[in-house]
Amino acid sequence: MKNYQKIITKIYNDLKNIDDTGKIANYIPELANVDDTNFGIHITTIDRNFFGIGDSKKKFSIQSISKILTLTLAYQLEGEKLWKRVDVEPSGNPFNSLLQLESDLGIPRNPFINAGAIVVCDVLISHLKNPKEDFLNFCRILSKNPDLNYSEKVAQSEKSSGYRNIALCNFIKSFGNIKNDIDVVLDFYFYTCALEMTCKEVSEIFLFLADDNFTNQEGNRVLTMSQAKRINAILLTCGFYDESGEFAFRVGLPGKSGVGGGIVAIHPDEFCITVWSPKLNKKGNSYKGMLFLEQFTTETESSIF
């Protein structure tokens, strides 16, 4: 497994007890209850070698990392038509910004900001009979893990505090880019963000973006190679909100963060690595996670550039 294990262990030990200046995402009340000293890493290579350290087997709320999964299913179902409803450009604004939607006439800049993910959820609701159950089943088949589930507590906590997301959904609806009932769309969106996984599970579920030969539990390809290439491209340019350029510059991999403190990074044809540390920097990305991945790609020379 190259020297990944040795390098991951060294960086983990170096960073474990540093002064973490980040802050936990306490605007979602349930996330404020998480122990902010958690720190876990797990890597899975395309030939299924793996290594985990720290809190890599503890469940956490993956939050916006789930936007890759909703996008993947919507892309499967809609094909290229999807890009008429949501764009593929970096936003350069915070993940919950309302400002751009006005000038862009209700078409979100990309599927990884909240507005874009809400539109993707609306697309899925138009296709799925039981959206929450069907999406969860898609994730279970993809991960070959029948125990995958939502956190009911986190979903309800997001519902009770998600005023900005409610505003975004209403605003997009006013431009005609939300087709279904707003309450149904938001309920589905909050549940998708409340998916709970471990670092190990996250690093395994996204192997389809690293491994050209990946098939799900039913033996089917998840996306065409062309589609996987496109999702990786959007991850590289848009996966970290208004810190995406910084992540590409410092880490050099397609990836996605979530305000639960998780980050997944993908090296096509090589591996998928997940880091979890709940304290976030000012842009909403894991403080320790960003530091770890920068050092990891530097020491392993595994940036895509």
User: Which sequence spans correspond to the domains of the chain?
Assistant: 4-299
Question: What are the angstrom distances between the C-alpha of 201 and each of 12, 62, 92, 119?
Answer: 19, 11, 30, 26
* Amino acid in the structure at residue 274: T
The two tokens of residue 287 are: 């403080």
Q: Which of 64, 91, 143, 151 is catalytic?
A: 64
* Residue 149 per-residue DSSP state: E
Question: What are the angstrom distances between the C-alpha of 197 and each of 40, 47, 151, 203?
Answer: 12, 22, 10, 10
SS3 percent helix, strand, coil of the chain, rounded to 5, is 50, 10, 40
Low pLDDT (below 70) residues in the chain: 1
Question: What are the angstrom distances between the C-alpha of 129 and each of 70, 74, 132?
Answer: 15, 14, 9
Q: Which of 12, 150, 241, 287 is catalytic?
A: 241
Give the chain's radius of gyration (CA, Å). Answer: 18
Q: Is residue 126 flagged as an active site residue?
A: no
Q: What is the pLDDT of residues 19-28, one digit of tens each?
A: 899 999 888 8
The whole-number pLDDT of residue 1 equals 60
Q: Is residue 61 flagged as an active site residue?
A: no
DSSP, residue by residue, 225-251:
HHHHHHHHHHHHHHTTGGGHHHHHHHT
CATH of 4-299, one of 3.30.930.10, 3.40.710.10, 2.60.120.650, 1.20.58.100: 3.40.710.10
Q: Is residue 67 flagged as an active site residue?
A: yes
Question: What 3-state class would DSSP assign to 93?
Answer: coil
Question: How far apart are alpha carbons 99 and 84 in whole angstroms?
Answer: 20
Q: Which of 259, 277, 279, 288 is catalytic?
A: 259
- Burial degree of 260 (CB within 10 A; 0-12, 13-18, 19+): buried
Q: Is residue 123 flagged as an active site residue?
A: no
Q: Which of 12, 189, 191, 287 is catalytic?
A: 189
Q: What is the pLDDT of residues 57-100, one digit of tens each?
A: 999 999 999 999 999 999 999 999 999 999 999 987 777 788 88
Q: Is residue 191 flagged as an active site residue?
A: no
The whole-number pLDDT of residue 237 equals 96
Q: What is the pTM of this model?
A: 0.96
The whole-number pLDDT of residue 218 equals 85
Q: Which of 56, 66, 67, 191 is catalytic?
A: 67
Question: How far apart are alpha carbons 59 and 229 in whole angstroms?
Answer: 29
